[in-house]
Amino acid sequence: MKGLNEYVEKNKERFLDELFELLRIPSVSADTNHNQDMIIAAEFLRNSLEKAGADNVEIIPTPGHPIVYGEKLIDDSLPTVLVYGHYDVQPPDPLELWDSEPFNPVIKNTKIHPEGAIFARGACDDKGQMYMHVKAFEIMQELDALPCNIKFMIEGEEEVGSEHLGDFCRKFKEKLSCDVILISDTSMIAKDIPSITTGLRGLSYMEVEVTGPNRDLHSGVYGGAVANPVNVLCRMIASLQDEDKKITIPGFYDEVQIVSDEERAMMNKAPFDVEAYKKDLEINEIEGETGYTTLERTSIRPTLDVNGIWGGYTGEGAKTVLPSKAFAKISMRLVPSQKSKTISDLFEKHFKSIAPDSVTVKVSHHHGGEAVVVTTDSDEYRAAHLAIEESFGKAPIPQRSGGSIPIVPLFEEVLGAKSILMGFGLDSDALHSPNENYGLFNYYKGIETIPLFYKHYAKLKK
Ligand code: BES
Ligand code: MN
Ligand code: MN
């Protein structure tokens, strides 16, 4: 595209300043103390879209956090691309583990990013990646090179389960009608190994409460004679996986789609260095389901993990107590064709069935979502492939991801359009963790690649 790289080069500093401004807004969707910041972030995006040249830009309220919408409809006969992203971020906790302030972005050089990376909550997930699309749109407008109609839908509830986006899509089905949904909210294999995400896992998220005696007890006076709910909870959780790390919930694997040997062989050709992986995480050994490689364990196989567990005394020093209650948050990543609701129900039934009579158990369901597979045999996939090949000088590798974006299958169901997951992050960007960061290389490369997607997509659709 003529003038593309020059435009990016000339405006690099401003593109970064603008992202910094967005990153300074602590738009934490999970924390009601930040409700006003959610509105400030939405207003920032409304202004950015307007300045970039979008029409009919509006902040549309939902019962939760608002959705920012904007469009540029140039010609009925051209294809329409709907850009989806999210402006909400995960809570920054634990704060003490950040080397810089989570909402005061700074550039630091790292081993992976010697040319610099942006450190801030949301730098990669998803403010940095979403904002690339706003800048790519600005470039296509300025260079008079927008070859498609474009719509933006940027939500503020992705990190808390996109509760209101489904209804929003149903309500504004016409307004959101499109040929494809373009999303940058995933990662690629490495800076020099571009990839396109061809799958996402589904999710079932549960919370359990185990109650023993009606009050905390002296662990000397009662210990040994009354069930300790923390001990019981640990035993119950431990029993959910066998020695092969297979999940023991009856029926859990019933619907799991078996991936063919050919496909498994293909996916294991993707570059992966287990020694570097261990070194990065400072672990002596990896662990997972017997019979599968790390790449398979994190993409085509379902999992069960405790995300948090608490109960009893966790303060300073030692307090001898036999607690009355114990809690855990347990999530399961799902693969095609497991159904989130079915798995959550199976979990609840099984978890209650393994509870000893000495305790009572409550199980509640948090948000969930279905897994996704993206075909490589479509014009939109080919357009993404060609765009990346052109900007990276290398063909991208299709790769299924272990993460979840539960709204993607819903888009297909409600809007009848498929999504392209063209992410530019890295798994090492510390998403959801302290010191989240996003490479400057990735930010600018993304901005340069996105207009090429439109170029190739428009051509293929002719
Ligand atoms: N952007 C991530 C999902 C992701 C990250 C996919 C990296 C692939 C690679 C998204 O914001 C996210 O965090 N999703 C949640 C689920 C959601 C319901 C809170 C997740 O995967 O835990
Ligand atoms: Mn995200
Ligand atoms: Mn996220």
Concatenate the DSSP letters of all residues of 29-49 into one string: TT-GGGHHHHHHHHHHHHHHH
CB atoms within 10 A of CB 260: 9
Query: What is d(CA 162, CA 458) in angstroms, rounded to the nearest whole number?
Result: 30
Nearest ligand, measured from the Cα of 91? 3
Nearest ligand, measured from the Cα of 187? 1
Task: For ligand 1, say whether the CB of 88 is within 6 Å of any of its atoms.
Answer: no
Q: Evaluate whether 4-200+371-460 and 202-256+302-369 have a shared fold.
A: no
Task: For ligand 1, say whether the CB of 406 is within 6 Å of any of its atoms.
Answer: yes
Query: What is d(CA 242, CA 18) in angstroms, rounded to the nearest whole number?
Result: 50
The closest-lying atom of ligand 1 relative to the alpha carbon of residue 185 is 1
- Cα 127 from chain centroid? 12
Q: Which two tokens stand for residue 148?
A: 């498609």
Query: What is d(CA 358, CA 88) in angstroms, rounded to the nearest whole number?
Result: 43
Task: For ligand 1, say whether the CB of 185 is within 6 Å of any of its atoms.
Answer: yes
Mutate to test the pocket of ligand 1, among 200, 431, 437, 438 (most ligand atoms within 8 A of CB): 431
Task: For ligand 1, say whether the CB of 436 is within 6 Å of any of its atoms.
Answer: no
For ligand 1, atom 18, name the residue with the nearest CA.
161
Q: Which two tokens stand for residue 131?
A: 């904002």
Task: For ligand 1, say whether the CB of 198 is within 6 Å of any of its atoms.
Answer: no
381 closest CA partner among 200, 182, 149: 182
Query: What is d(CA 359, CA 327) in angstroms, rounded to the nearest whole number?
Result: 13
Query: What is d(CA 6, CA 12) in angstroms, rounded to the nearest whole number?
Result: 10
For ligand 1, atom 13, name the residue with the nearest CA.
159
Task: For ligand 1, say whether the CB of 125 is within 6 Å of any of its atoms.
Answer: yes
Give me the residue spans of the domains in the chain. Answer: 4-200+371-460, 202-256+302-369
Q: Could you tell me the CATH superfamily of domain 4-200+371-460?
A: Zn peptidases (3.40.630.10)
For ligand 1, atom 16, name the residue with the nearest CA.
404
Backbone angles phi, psi at 203, to 5 degrees: -150, 140
**Which residues in the chain show pLDDT less than 70?**
none
The domain 202-256+302-369 having CATH identifier 3.30.70.360: the answer here is yes
For ligand 1, atom 15, name the residue with the nearest CA.
404
Task: For ligand 1, say whether the CB of 159 is within 6 Å of any of its atoms.
Answer: yes
Query: What is d(CA 196, CA 218) in angstroms, rounded to the nearest whole number?
Result: 57
Q: Is residue 246 within 8 Å of 256, Cβ to Cβ?
A: no
How high is the pLDDT of residue 40? 98
Residue 123 alpha carbon to ligand 3 centre in Å: 11
The C-alpha R_g of the chain, in whole angstroms, comes to: 23
Query: What is d(CA 57, CA 188) in angstroms, rounded to the nearest whole number?
Result: 31
Residue 64 alpha carbon to ligand 1 centre in Å: 19
Nearest ligand, measured from the Cα of 126? 2
How high is the pLDDT of residue 166? 96
Mutate to test the pocket of ligand 1, among 27, 84, 125 (most ligand atoms within 8 A of CB): 125
How high is the pLDDT of residue 450? 98
How high is the pLDDT of residue 367? 87
Mutate to test the pocket of ligand 1, among 405, 408, 431 (most ligand atoms within 8 A of CB): 405
